[in-house]
Amino acid sequence: MRLRLPPSVRFGAGSTTQLPDIVRECGMRRALVVTDHGVLAARVVDRVLDALDVPRTVYVCGSACATEITACRNALPGHDGVIAVGGGSVLDVAKAAVALHGSEGPLESLYGLERSQGPALPLVAVPTTPGSGGEVSSHAVVTDGERRHAVSGPSLVPRAVVIDPDLTATLPHQAMLACALDALMHGAEAYLARAATPFSDALALPGVRRIVSSLLSPDPEELSAGCLQANLAMAQANAGLVHALGYPLTQRYGIPHGIANVVVAPAVLRASRHVQEQRDADLASCFGAHDFADGLTALLDRLGVEREFPSGNADELATEALLYGPVRANWRFDATVDDMAAMYRAAP
C-alpha cells in the first residue's frame, strides 16, 4: 500500500492564522500567492495576506489551461514557495506551474501519470471551497484545447494544507453545492474503486456520511471535515467510471464538474451494482436507502439539483469518455463504449 499524504494539515475555523508557522516550516522567505478573480473580489485572499509575515506577490489566474499554467510558472522566479488560495482551478494552476518549474521540458512532456518527478518548490494549499480534492492529491488537471490531461507525481502533493471553514462563508450556494457533491463522489468512487484499500475505505465511508448529513442540515465545519475525508480517500484510491462520464459533460456543455458527476452517477451505479453489491449497500446506508443510486437520487431531488443535458449525443459522449482510461480502468465493471452510451441515455 502506497500512501501519499500532505505532511501537514491544519483544520478548523480560524486555522488561516497558523500560516506564519506553516510558511516557516516550509522554509519560504518570499511567497507567490496564486488566486483567481472571484476569490480576490470576495476579499477572501485578504485574510491570507493579513496572516502572512513574509514578502509576497499576488498572482491572479484564470482557468487551469496550458496558457495560464505557463504564465504562472513564468511568475515564479524570485519566489521560493507558493500559496494557492482558491478552488480546484487555482490549485490545479499552482500545482502544474510548480511541476513545470521543476521540469526541463515543456508542459506537454508532463501529461500523463507519474511524469512529474523533478524537484518542486514547496506549495501550501488553502482551499476556499469545501474541497476539490486537489489540496491533498498528487495530480493536477490541465485543459489543453478540447482535452483534459493529468499532470501527476509525488512532488505535486502540497507540503501543507489549511482547511478553514470560515473561508467558505462567501461562496455562493450553487458553487458550494457543486463542490460538496464532487467530494461526495470522490469518497464514493474511492470506496468502489479497484484500487480501494483498508486505509481509503476508513476515510471514504465516514466522509460520504458526513457530507450527506451536512448537506441536509448545513454545518460548514462538518461539511469541510467530510470533504477532507472523502478527498483523502480519493487521493489514495483514485476516482472511477462516474468521473470518466462526467468529464465530457463539463467539456461539451460547461456543466460544473461536481454536478456533471452526479448527473450520470445514478445510471453508472445501477449498471455496475451487480459487481459490487456489498460496497454499494455500504454506501446506501449513508443515505438510509436500499441502494446507492436510489439514495443519491433522493438526495439530489431534495436539494433541487438540476440534472438535464442533451442526451441525444450519447454515442459521441461515450466515445469521448473512452479517453479517460485510468479512471475507467479503476472501476470494477469493465464498461464498453456501448455500455457507456446506454448510461448517458439513462442519466437524465
- 175-188 tens-digit pLDDT: 999 999 999 999 99
Instruction: Tell me the mean pLDDT in the region 251-263.
Output: 94
Query: What does the pLDDT average to over 271-294?
Result: 96
* Pairing of β 31-36 and β 81-86: parallel
122-139: average pLDDT: 91
User: Does the predicted TM-score (pTM) go above 0.75?
Assistant: yes
Instruction: State residue 104's pLDDT score.
Output: 83
Q: Is residue 276 within 8 Å of residue 332, measured between CB atoms?
A: yes
Task: Please give the average per-residue pLDDT across 288-294, as a whole number.
Answer: 96
Contacts of 64 (CB under 8 A, 6+ apart): 88, 89, 92, 93, 96, 140, 141, 142, 143
pLDDT score recorded for residue 310 = 83
Q: What is the pLDDT of residue 1?
A: 62
Instruction: Give residue-wise pLDDT tens across range 193-248.
Output: 999 999 999 999 999 999 999 999 989 999 999 999 999 999 999 999 999 999 99
Q: What pLDDT sits at residue 65?
A: 94
Q: Mind listing the domains of the chain with CATH numbers?
A: 8-168 (3.40.50.1970), 173-346 (1.20.1090.10)
Tally the residues of the chain.
348
Q: Give the tens place of pLDDT for each residue, 13-68.
A: 999 999 999 999 999 999 999 999 999 999 999 999 999 999 999 999 999 999 99
- Which DSSP string do the residues of 108-119 spell out, in sequence order? GGGBBTT---S-
Q: Give whole-number Cα distances, 296 to 60, 156, 189, 315, 344, in Å.
A: 36, 32, 13, 25, 17
Q: What is the pLDDT of residue 93?
A: 96
